[in-house]
Amino acid sequence: MSEKTSGPKVHAWLEEFRKYPKNESSVIPLLQLVQEREGYVPAQAVRAIARYTGVREAQVYGVATFYAQFRFQPRGRHLIRLCQGTACHVQGADSILDHLKEKLKVEEGGTTEDGLFTLEVVRCLGCCSLAPVMMIDDTTYGRLTRRAVDKVLAEYRKEGK
Amino acid sequence: MSQVAEVQVGMASCGIAAGAEPVFQFFAQNLAQGKVQVKPVGCLGMCFSEPLVAVVTEDGERFVYGPVDVKKAERILAEHVRGGTPVEDLLAKENGFFTKQVRIVLENCGMIDPTSIDEYIRRGGYEALQKVLREMTPAEVIEEITKSGLRGRGGAGFPTGTKWSFAAKEKDPVKFVVCNGDEGDPGAFMDRSVLEGDPHRVIEGMIIAGYAIGAQEGIVYVRAEYPLAVRRVRQAIAAAEARGFLGRNILGSSFSFRITVKEGAGAFVCGEETALIASVEGKRGMPRRRPPYPAQHGLWGHPTVINNVETLANVPWIIRHGWEAFARYGTEKSKGTKVFALAGKVRHSGLVEIPMGLTLGELVLEVGGGIPGGKAFKAVQIGGPSGGCLPAALAHVPVDYESLKEHGAIMGSGGLIVMDEDTCMVEVARFFLDFTQKESCGKCTFCRVGTKRMLEILSGIVEGKGRPEDLEVLMDLGQKVKTYSLCGLGQTAPNPVLTTLRYFRDEYEAHVREKRCPARVCRALLTYRIEPELCRDCKLCTKACPVGAIVQGAGKFQVIQEEKCIRCGRCREVCPFGAVSVR
């Protein structure tokens, strides 16, 4: 790997790290912080977190890969999280997933060619009474049908960014 | 007619998702001047009518409208808020939704602005804390909670007072209180609603727990998927600190307590208390052997009490009203109320709080309003992926810890999914096992490998490759996974499979012997057919078919070529004449 633990981004992160105690308990909050800023956890961030907390790099990887939240590849501009919780499943979320895959031409976890969307499947967004549900970034869309999905995607495409 | 004092808009996550934001903006802009207050409130529970708007008069009378869009909001503004006449035809129809409910945990949810500590205080908030600090010793607090009969609302039902007393006995000067808000069950949103709608209640419960066991620090562990809940809890902590309810020498006493928030990172197993501790410590969230229990040896080795959100939300009420008032509700061994997230094939999906001991039938058919679309009530899945599916024939079973356990389910954290005749129980069992299998942390062999093998068998059955002997293997393996797993995840993961095998054996038999799915859900076992006498030859299906499996028949009708058909059901969805049948 050619990435280093220095560079402008690493400096910016380290600046923010200082709010957290320098020990193991900060590993998850720091991973969350970096992902919040970058959209994913780059390799040099893992190294920076390991150095800051005094935890071995392998162990930081171990933690990061254990939890579903962390991503190691950059993601598209908008993150689509389709709910596959029980209520959504019973209300036909499967066919919404098929439709999204078909429309976006991606598999679960994939990013569209234009880099606009990343499609993820999650278990329960806690809006069960509006099932089936998806979230795009921080906005929740409920009572989805194929047509409703098309409309929402078109809006994001129109904005283009 | 008394004047309108307030307009409240339900702005929990689900309300916002249903479109509450523009409605709120509409009222806020139009009522910016004048005496009528516009405020966001938490979940009102009636998710089936969202977005919800409550118009409150100066006398305290409440009129709840829903579902409300901006157009309806215009009428409510003109006719009710300005004109003084309620708009009868827009009122939310509750049809007995509230009749059998008792609201303890949810008493403020949807009634107050969750960002305002004053509103919480006005409704009796922090009175319990004052009472505890001024009049009660820690031992008396524990005794009060023990007598009330409160048991853990996270699922297992361990007596809360007993748990506290274990931690209180420990001599260690450093102790912790952890609030478990890692609500990972698919189909559950009780904790989210309480944290979003009435966060101070949970904070107050934690401070009281801290006083009772002699802890100085509390941690709220919330799922990162609940950004609004995280925000509300942080606001509430800051507000409580500013008023001296948190921090050094609370209310002039010698007791000091602080609370921080930790966001979970997406692992279902972290709902298990030892896994949660590992996660807070910054490790992979894997459970460990108990004993020692966290009450003796918890976070960083110190005594730690871990209580679920709902458990803690009960505490201030019990202190304020006394243990007798709480114990009046419920059954002999299960006291008080339980909050359920009703969802699935039910008319009134939403957040409900019922006294323990109400029957499953009352819960689904009366509080829940029954099944929509005239379909038959088939089963409830109670307790999430760790729980079980109970058939409609068990509608007389009371909702309490013991009765549910006796029938193979568990109380769980409160997810309750209603299923109708269109739900395939084999497929549902596969769905839950798929979930637990992916969430298994991998530590115990039976949970890691056993659930995987069970899932393969179930997937085979729904794909039409099932063999009759599979059912015995599932039973046997299910029992072993339960027996040889360390934590609650593995010990309960087979429950959905075992209960469906017990109550819906005939459906399994139909799948493996006749290669037939009675609920017509399992795709591989379906045959789609266009009935020539109903077909009008409009060709909508032909256009919709993604694989070109539909062709012109011998006459004015279309025909599905079975060998090409992928059974996606698109033709059936688009047919305006109901000519496509499934078998």
> What residues pair up with B181 in beta bridges, in sequence order?
B222
Q: Are A81 and A125 in contact (CB under 8 A)?
A: yes
d(CA B181, CA B179): 6
pLDDT interval class at B47 (50, 70, 90): confident
Q: Are A53 and A17 in contact (CB under 8 A)?
A: no
Instruction: Quote the pLDDT of residue A1.
Output: 40
| CA distances (Å), origin B553, targets B253, B533, B540, B566, B581 | 86, 12, 14, 19, 16
What's phi and psi for B386, nearest 5 deg? Answer: -95, -10
Q: Which of B473, B483, B474, B475 is nearest to B446 (CA)?
A: B483
Output the six-digit token pair for B149.
């009969």
CB contact under 8 A, B345 and A25: no
CB pairs under 8 A between A and B: 136
Residues 6+ apart with CB under 8 A from B161: B142, B143, B144, B145, B146, B147, B148, B150
Over residues A87-101, the pLDDT tens digits come to: 888 888 988 999 999
Q: Are B47 and B193 in contact (CB under 8 A)?
A: no
Q: Are A147 and B23 in contact (CB under 8 A)?
A: no
User: What are the chain A neighbours of B225 within 8 Å (beta carbons)?
Assistant: 122, 124-126
d(CA B58, CA B36): 10
Torsion of CA A127, A132, A135, A139, to 10 degrees: -60
Whether the complex's predicted ipTM surpasses the cut of 0.90: no
Average pLDDT over chain B, rounded to an integer: 94
Over residues B480-506, the pLDDT tens digits come to: 999 999 999 999 999 999 999 999 999
Rounded to two decimals, the pTM is 0.91
DSSP letter for B270, please. Answer: G
Half-sphere exposure of residue A160: CA atoms within 13 angstroms, side-chain side: 1
- CB-nearest to B17 from A55, A84, A133 is A133
d(CA B377, CA B319): 40
Task: Please name the amino acid found at residue B313.
Answer: A
d(CA B56, CA B2): 10
CB contact under 8 A, A24 and B265: no
Q: Is B506 exposed, middle or buried (0-12, 13-18, 19+ CB in 10 A)?
A: exposed
State the best of A30, A120, A129, A133 to mutate against chain B, taking most chain B CBs within 10 Å: A129
Q: Which of B450, B484, B372, B486 is nearest to B418 (CA)?
A: B372
Instruction: Quote the pLDDT of residue B575.
Output: 93
Q: Are strands B4-10 and B37-41 parallel, antiparallel or unpaired?
A: parallel
Q: With an 8 Å Cβ cutoff, is B383 touching chain A?
A: no
Q: With an 8 Å Cβ cutoff, is B443 touching chain A?
A: no
How far does B408 lie from chain A, in Å, by closest CA?
A: 19
Instruction: Quote the pLDDT of residue A112.
Output: 94
Instruction: Quote the pLDDT of residue A159.
Output: 84
Question: DSSP alpha helices (H): ranges in B300-364?
Answer: 309-321, 323-327, 360-361
User: What are the chain B neighbours of A66 within 8 Å (beta carbons)?
Assistant: 267, 284-285, 441
pLDDT interval class at B567 (50, 70, 90): confident
CB contact under 8 A, A66 and B13: no
- The distance of Cα B422 from the centroid of its chain, to the nearest Å, equals 22
Instruction: Quote the pLDDT of residue B348.
Output: 93
Residue written as token pair 């115990």: B444
CB contact under 8 A, A124 and B186: yes
Task: Please name the amino acid found at residue B371.
Answer: I
Q: With an 8 Å Cβ cutoff, is A122 touching chain B?
A: yes
Q: Which of A130, A32, A139 is nearest to A78 (CA)?
A: A139
Q: Are B23 and B9 in contact (CB under 8 A)?
A: yes
- The distance of Cα B39 from the centroid of its chain, to the nearest Å, equals 25
pLDDT higher than threshold 80 for residue B42: yes
Instruction: Quote the pLDDT of residue B1.
Output: 58
Residues of chain A with pLDDT under 50: 1-3
- The distance of Cα B523 from the centroid of its chain, to the nearest Å, equals 29
Over residues B321-367, the pLDDT tens digits come to: 999 999 999 999 999 999 999 988 999 988 999 999 999 999 999 99
pLDDT higher than threshold 90 for residue B515: yes
Q: Which of B319-323, B400-404, B412-416 has the lowest mean pLDDT?
A: B412-416
Task: Please name the amino acid found at residue B480.
Answer: K
- CB-nearest to B282 from A28, A86, A122 is A28
Q: Are B341 and B154 in contact (CB under 8 A)?
A: no
d(CA A17, CA A12): 9
Q: With an 8 Å Cβ cutoff, is B568 touching chain A?
A: yes
> Reduced to 3 states, what is the DSSP secondary structure of residue B292?
coil
Residues 186-245 of B with CB under 8 A from A: 186-189, 192, 224-227
CB contact under 8 A, A95 and B262: no
Output the six-digit token pair for B566.
């992928």
- CB-nearest to A63 from B226, B266, B283 is B283
Q: With an 8 Å Cβ cutoff, is A26 touching chain B?
A: yes
Output the six-digit token pair for A57.
């790099």
Over residues B75-90, the pLDDT tens digits come to: 999 999 999 999 999 9
User: What are the chain A neighbours of B377 within 8 Å (beta carbons)?
Assistant: none
Q: With an 8 Å Cβ cutoff, is B50 touching chain A?
A: yes
Residues 6+ apart with CB under 8 A from B31: B7, B37, B38, B77, B81
